[in-house]
Amino acid sequence: MLLIDEIRVENLIEGCVTDNRNPIISFSMSSDCREVALESATVKIDDWEKQVNHQLNIVYDGDLEPFTIYEIEIYAKSNTGETAYRRTSFQTGRLDTPWEAKWITDKSYLPEKGCSPIPMTFRKNLHLSQKIKKAYVTATAMGIYELEINGKQITKEYFAPGFTSYKHTLQYNYYDVTEYMEEENIIFAVVAGGWAVGRFTYESKSQITTERQAFLMELFVEYEDGTKDTILTDNTWQVTLDGNYRFGDFYDGEVYDATINVKDVCWKTAEETSLSFAPEITVQYGCPVTTHEYMRPVTIFTAPSGERIYDFGQNFAGVVCLEIEGKEGQEIIVRHAEVLNENELFVKTLRTAKATLTYICKEGCQNYSPKFTYMGFRYIGIRGIEEEKIKVSAYAIYSNIEEIGSFTCSNPLLNQLQRNILWSGKSNFVDIPTDCPQRDERQGWTGDISIFASTACYNFDLSRFLDKWLLDVKYEQGKGGGIPLVVPKHGNGAPTVSTACWGDCCILVPWALYLSNGDKRILQTQYPVMKRFLNSVKFWAGLGSIGKRVHIWKWLFQFGDWCAPDGYITDWMKKGKWIATAYYANSCNIMSQIAEILGEQEDSTYYKGVFQEICDAYIEVFTDKKGQLKREFQTGYVLPIAFDMVDKNTKRAMGNNLVRLIKENQWHLNTGFPATSFILFALCDTGRIEEAYRLLLQDTYPSWLYEVKCGATTFWERWDAMRPDGTINVGKLNKKDSDSDPGMCSYNHYAYGAVGDFFYRRILGVEAVTGGYENFQIKPVLGGGLKFAEGSHRTPFGTIWVSWKVEQENFSLEFEVPVSTRCTVVLPSGKKENFGSGRYVLSEHYVEPA
Ligand code: BGC
């Protein structure tokens, strides 16, 4: 039977509210027959109708009215003559409805510089005399807000309206509030500093977007008799700084005083204000940050200092939930940490982030969970209340992204590594892709997501999450074509110039996203950004150079082999020109493919040519032309092999040299951020499969499994975040720094988790050949003594599932191909076969290498 399993509108299965006048619709199907593909489909929205013969990215080009629900109906017919039907709906937001409400604030309040402001509470009493048919709100803020109507929480997410490049774009939220409205109503909105006003960046900047918080809201009421009302923020609202939330800050935490009765505090008239810039205000187009896994402590003990420590057994980004039996005025202090040292919370690596909650109790039973902060932690320490008077749990919070991948195999340590990849991903997908969730940073470092994007897209549906962030990359690209090191740049003081790997995010991230979801729009929107970026790289590479050296990219600034196990920051940076040149080549190569997909044939040929010239320059300048680097280091071999920059023979020679360096390093890697995700590919693809597995399964420092054996539940920023001698690293950046200087060492950084790409693309062997996996391959690479591996990846067409096992000189592979896709299977013997949709089992004789 043919079924339409899912219909997505703007990449959302349900609850889509959009301001896009041409939303896209995609659907996936399943069938119990083989070789099934869509023949044709009719997509209907009211009297708009479209005949299509494809399932992804069907553009609606009919009319749209604001605040209207649209029904979508899809009738599909397959090549086997079966038919299927499904319907869904989506809704429009304001579209172009102008805002009539005024921004409101307390103009007399000037927050202290370098600190987050006191949260502002706004209120409005509202009498509605007629019967209500429908009521809905659109709201946004400068800062982050929580909305409550008649004591009911309206905002379901954290940190609304989210983090964007505010001067260009600001999201608003849409909430249907019909069920909350009564005759007499009281509306409260608390606005904390968040990103726009609060302390941000390790330089403790504050008021980066505006001087103080402000709130903007329109409440639309439709009465049963057909009349309408709009309630707007204006100077009929009141404001106070004396509410329950005394403080809210991403790094430092929250202070909440439950003894305050907000009705009794001193209120004054809210003042109307305006922004000094004009962002486009669009209904939320990213993913809301919401609660996910419910976490309970696995151990509770008292530290030598007397603080009671709760261990959640997992490092994650989230908020604690406290159920308290308290006394009026009793003060409870909660501190957070990722690691312990001598049974105490170790907080030095948080640098200036205080990561502390202070809760002042009212009398009796009460619940508390922070709203205007989140922490990256595994442990918390509590003071101020006896153990039996408080029940502690927590929620992981992150953007509402779906988990669409899975991987398990016969090696439990690799399975733990996969769990760590998922947790580092989740912890760092909090509205924007962050570097880490705990210290005074949590910024959108572009290099980290450049490296992790491909792995991330195997594991999560990041369509909306990355689309939103990439829009900010576009807005914030420098005039000269550079990409900020951090997006949104938001207070980051570094000049916007092109930097390898970090800047390449404008090509690598959309490319990973396109391969996973097949949505060409991201390539189209980013195309001019990519071109400008590569032009700027061309300029910097060529500056002051002649001959082939015009393609060697060194200037202006490079991170180099960032966080490599050997040496310090200056040692990493010294490797800049090799890494930058290889990344430049790789981006030109990808760009040539992107240009072709977009029908830009001339560009495609041009970038292919530049790619070739850069490859030649790398060989000429850095090697003896026979596959040996003049200055040898692992990354210097990994990148040209993995980026396909050299011919077959040179590749093989480079592979041999790489293996020699690894051997000389006692079978350890020695790579930083830009190459670690590629080292196993470089080995595998030069025929050194055994060595690739040996490196993957290495469990002494530095290695992935070393971290696992140390008990890591997420990925570390530094290979030696915990040293083999059991001491904790504070992450010195320079040799001369003292061990007690807070450096750079997080326990939840996803960059090295990019090894997950190898799990999917080589161990399972699943790789997209065309965007959205319409064509893909399954080519498992066996080794490392693995007896089986199983995994899945949900594509926009449906789920690819792969399971292989090795048993008594036999290799068997079971797999499932989604409807309307085609797959090429390559068995370990090299035997190749093509398949349409369906479930299959193949097997062949296989002898494990001794
Ligand atoms: C961040 C990194 C980032 C790096 C670049 C660090 O502070 O945590 O992950 O990419 O800076 O300098």
Q: Dihedral of CA 337/340/345/351: which sign?
A: negative
Burial (Cβ within 10 Å: 0-12, 13-18, ≥19) of residue 503:
buried
Ligand 1 atom with minimal separation from the 202 CA = 7
Q: Is the pLDDT of residue 132 over 90?
A: yes
- 24 within 8 A of 521, measured Cβ to Cβ: yes
Ligand 1 pocket member 448 (CB < 6 A) = yes
Ligand 1 atom 8 nearest Cα: 435
Ligand 1 atom 3 nearest Cα: 445
DSSP code at position 119? P
Band (pLDDT 50/70/90 cuts) for residue 484 is very high
- 785 within 8 A of 773, measured Cβ to Cβ: no
Ligand 1 atom 2 nearest Cα: 435
**What distance in angstroms lies between residue 565's CA and the mean position of ligand 1's atoms?**
15
Ligand 1 pocket member 745 (CB < 6 A) = no
For residue 458, the model assigns a pLDDT of 98
Ligand 1 atom 7 nearest Cα: 744
Ligand 1 pocket member 436 (CB < 6 A) = yes
Ligand 1 atom 1 nearest Cα: 435
Beta-sheet pairing, 152-153 with 58-59: unpaired
| Mean pLDDT on 718-738 | 89
Distance in angstroms (rounded) separating the CA atoms of residues 134 and 847: 68
**What distance in angstroms lies between residue 572's CA and the mean position of ligand 1's atoms?**
13
The four Cα atoms 376, 381, 386, 389 give a dihedral, to 10 degrees, of 10
Ligand 1 pocket member 563 (CB < 6 A) = no
Distance in angstroms (rounded) separating the CA atoms of residues 354 and 363: 27
Contacts of 727 (CB under 8 A, 6+ apart): none
Distance in angstroms (rounded) separating the CA atoms of residues 423 and 751: 12
Mutating to test ligand 1, I would choose from 483, 557, 561, 562 the residue with most ligand atoms within 8 A of its C-beta, which is: 562
For residue 170, the model assigns a pLDDT of 98
Ligand 1 pocket member 440 (CB < 6 A) = no
For residue 735, the model assigns a pLDDT of 87
Contacts of 3 (CB under 8 A, 6+ apart): 29, 30, 31, 84, 86
Ligand 1 pocket member 447 (CB < 6 A) = yes
| Mean pLDDT on 240-255 | 98
Ligand 1 pocket member 441 (CB < 6 A) = yes
Ligand 1 pocket member 504 (CB < 6 A) = no
For residue 566, the model assigns a pLDDT of 85
Q: Is the pLDDT of residue 739 over 80?
A: no
Q: What does R_g of the chain's alpha carbons equal in angstroms? A: 28
Ligand 1 atom 12 nearest Cα: 559
**What distance in angstroms lies between residue 558's CA and the mean position of ligand 1's atoms?**
12
Beta-sheet pairing, 184-192 with 144-149: antiparallel
For residue 588, the model assigns a pLDDT of 98
**What distance in angstroms lies between residue 448's CA and the mean position of ligand 1's atoms?**
8
| Mean pLDDT on 94-103 | 97
Question: Smallest Cα–Cα separation from 504: which of 530, 472, 480?
Answer: 530
- pLDDT tens digit sequence for 631-657: 999 999 999 999 999 999 999 999 999
**What distance in angstroms lies between residue 487's CA and the mean position of ligand 1's atoms?**
12
- pLDDT tens digit sequence for 434-450: 999 999 999 999 999 99
Tokens representing residue 753 in the block: 């988790």
Q: Is the pLDDT of residue 741 over 80?
A: no
Ligand 1 pocket member 10 (CB < 6 A) = no
- pLDDT tens digit sequence for 704-726: 999 999 999 999 999 999 998 88
- pLDDT tens digit sequence for 311-363: 999 999 999 999 999 999 999 999 999 999 999 999 999 999 999 999 999 99
Q: What is the DSSP string of 416-443?
A: HHHHHHHHHHHHHEESEE-S-SSSS---
| Mean pLDDT on 488-508 | 96
- 237 within 8 A of 122, measured Cβ to Cβ: yes
**What burial letters (b/e) apply to 473-502, b meaning 16+ CB within 10 Å?**
bbbbbbeebbbbbbbbbbbbeeebbbbbbb
Tokens representing residue 80 in the block: 């086997």
Q: Is the pLDDT of residue 585 over 80?
A: yes
| Mean pLDDT on 778-803 | 98
Band (pLDDT 50/70/90 cuts) for residue 589 is very high
Distance in angstroms (rounded) separating the CA atoms of residues 803 and 267: 64
For residue 181, the model assigns a pLDDT of 97
**What distance in angstroms lies between residue 570's CA and the mean position of ligand 1's atoms?**
14
Ligand 1 atom with minimal separation from the 744 CA = 7
Contacts of 664 (CB under 8 A, 6+ apart): none
pTM of the model: 0.97
**What distance in angstroms lies between residue 435's CA and the mean position of ligand 1's atoms?**
7
**What distance in angstroms lies between residue 646's CA and the mean position of ligand 1's atoms?**
30
End-to-end CA separation in angstroms for the chain: 47
- pLDDT tens digit sequence for 355-404: 999 999 999 999 999 999 999 999 999 999 999 999 999 999 999 999 99
